[in-house]
Amino acid sequence: MPLPLETERLLIRPFSQAHLVPLHLTVRSDPEVMRFIPRPLDKNRDETTVALKRWIDGYEKNGLAPLAVEHKGSGEFLGICGVFPLGMEGPEMEIAWILGRRHWGKGYATEAARACLRHGFEEHRLNRIVAIIFPDNTASIHVAEKVGMVYEGLGQFYDHEMLCYAAPKPVLLVRRYRDQDCDAIWSLHNRALEAVGAHLGNGPWDEDLLRIPEAYFAGGDFLVGELSGEIVAMGAIRRQTTDCAEVKRMRVAPRFQRRGFGQQILDLLQQRAVELGYSRLCLDTTVQQVAAQRLYQKNGFTEVGRRVGPFESILYEKALRHNAG
């Protein structure tokens, strides 16, 4: 999720000098809005200018700073949300949300917080994000809980006793394919091949993806990896012979590559092949799919041949180890 972030109703983007007046009027000079913010009201626009400059500089330095939240339809400035170093110093990473009072009670804070958390984890690969909340700020506590943050306890933050909520890095949930996954699987397949220049276009060679249960569940399996509800990885095995299964359709969404998701899927497929009684695995990948070649070689697959076609393919095989007993 690169910036700007778009949700159903919101546009979330870096601050600019054009935000000075709405930021001052909507947030920084409103005592009701700032009631639960551990800093004094801005007395004038000059004080807001100092904060705005700090946020713009922070974003230019490392991409982590409070962001402007706007209504996607009207362009109206609604408030602030973003992930940044706690106290602008760190090392913890904090998420905060502050909306103008006219925009309270509409779900905007939850919508913005969910998008900013995802951005922090996916784009910046953070392992943990906290929210620091005054104990009597029940509205913000509800937002933190709605977006999946977990209460950790009271602590001293910003010279006040405040609550700490935390969101750990989302983990990849791997499960078996379901019929409702069909569209997401089709999209992932095409995006992953296009990203490496190995897409022939769709044709009869893709028909197995339109009937996955029939193509894979008898003597094989088809796994998908979900991250925060989005399918970002997949892979399958299907019967070739009584002792050999073929690894098929290994795909990881381009923006989620180099995170170990392919390895996680492959590990589970190899385990499943052993459970199904296979003693060998085979597969092919195109010469364009260099990352896939490295993955297979690292996992003990040996090149056994090449196949010439629209794309040159490398053929691999591997013997499986069965636990004794």
pLDDT tens, residue by residue, 45-61: 999 999 999 999 999 99
Task: Give the domain extent around 13.
Answer: 5-168
**Same domain as 187, residue 132:** no
Q: Is 307 helix (H, G, I), strand (E, B) or coil?
A: strand
Residue 325 forms part of a structural domain: no
Confidence at 125, pLDDT banded by 50, 70, 90: confident
- Say whether both 183 and 161 belong to one domain: no
Q: How many Cα atoms occupy the beta-carbon half-sphere of 74 within 13 Å?
A: 5
- Give the number of domains in the chain: 2
Concatenated DSSP letters for 248-261?
Answer: EEEEE-GGG-SSSH
* E strand residue ranges, 158-243: 160-168, 173-176, 221-227, 230-239
pLDDT value at position 325?
Answer: 45
Predicted pLDDT at 156: 94
Domain at 212, CATH number: 3.40.630.30
Q: 185 and 139, same structural domain? A: no
pLDDT of residue 139 exceeding 90, the answer is yes
Q: Each residue of 199-245: pLDDT tens digit? A: 888 899 999 999 999 999 999 999 999 988 899 999 999 999 999 99
Q: Are residues 199 and 137 in the same domain?
A: no
Query: Following CA atoms 138, 140, 142, 144 in sequence, which dihedral angle do they give, to the nearest 10 degrees?
Result: -140
Domain boundary among 104, 139, 168: 168
Which of 151, 168, 185 terminates a domain? The answer is 168
Q: Specify whether 210 is located in the same domain as 251.
A: yes
CB neighbour burial string for 276-311, b if at least 16 within 10 angstroms, e if fewer: eebeebbbbbbebbeebbebbeeeebeeeeeeeeeb
160 and 309 assigned to the same domain: no
Could you read off the pLDDT of 181-190 as tens digits, one per residue?
A: 999 999 999 9
Same domain assignment for residues 128 and 76:
yes
Do the domain assignments include residue 324?
Answer: no
Residue that terminates a domain, selected from 141, 168, 195: 168
- The answer, yes or no, to whether residue 324 has pLDDT greater than 60, is no
* pLDDT reported for residue 237: 98
pLDDT at residue 255 in the model:
86
Q: Same domain for 77 and 133?
A: yes
229 domain-assigned: yes
